[in-house]
Amino acid sequence: MKKMIFTVAFAAATIGMKATVSQSQFEVLEIQTEVNYEKNIQFKDLPAAVRDAFKADGHEEKDVLKIVKTKIDKRFTEFKFLVKEEGQETEISYKAKLKE
């Protein structure tokens, strides 16, 4: 009888410990380092393909307030245009593949 009570108590303690351990979850933190190299540039310094795409979308050079060149990764560069259209400032971006 004592053995049975001891076994039941041991089983209850084991189940309680297991429930406590399973409830505490380990949180994995993922740290991602992102380094963007931003540089203000002039319209004339843009790659021809980006200039052509900008004009093909119906925008004009005179409406450009600011252009920022951002290196995304080893293959792509993003060009962000701050443009004044109809009295409002709008951000437009184009991505260009870098030559290898």
Query: What tens digit of pLDDT does each residue of 15-70 get?
Result: 655 555 455 566 666 665 555 578 899 999 999 999 999 999 999 999 999 999 98
- Within a domain: residue 92? yes
70 neighbors 37 (Cβ within 8 angstroms): yes
Residue 5 domain-assigned? no
Q: Is residue 46 part of a domain?
A: yes
d(CA 47, CA 60): 16
Residue 89 lies in a domain: yes
Instruction: Write the pLDDT tens digit of every residue in 79-95.
Output: 999 999 888 999 999 99
Rounded to two decimals, the pTM is 0.59
> Which domain range does residue 47 map to?
37-97
CATH of the domain at 48: 3.10.450
Question: Looking at the predicted structure, is the pLDDT value of residue 71 above 60?
Answer: yes
pLDDT at 6 over 60: no
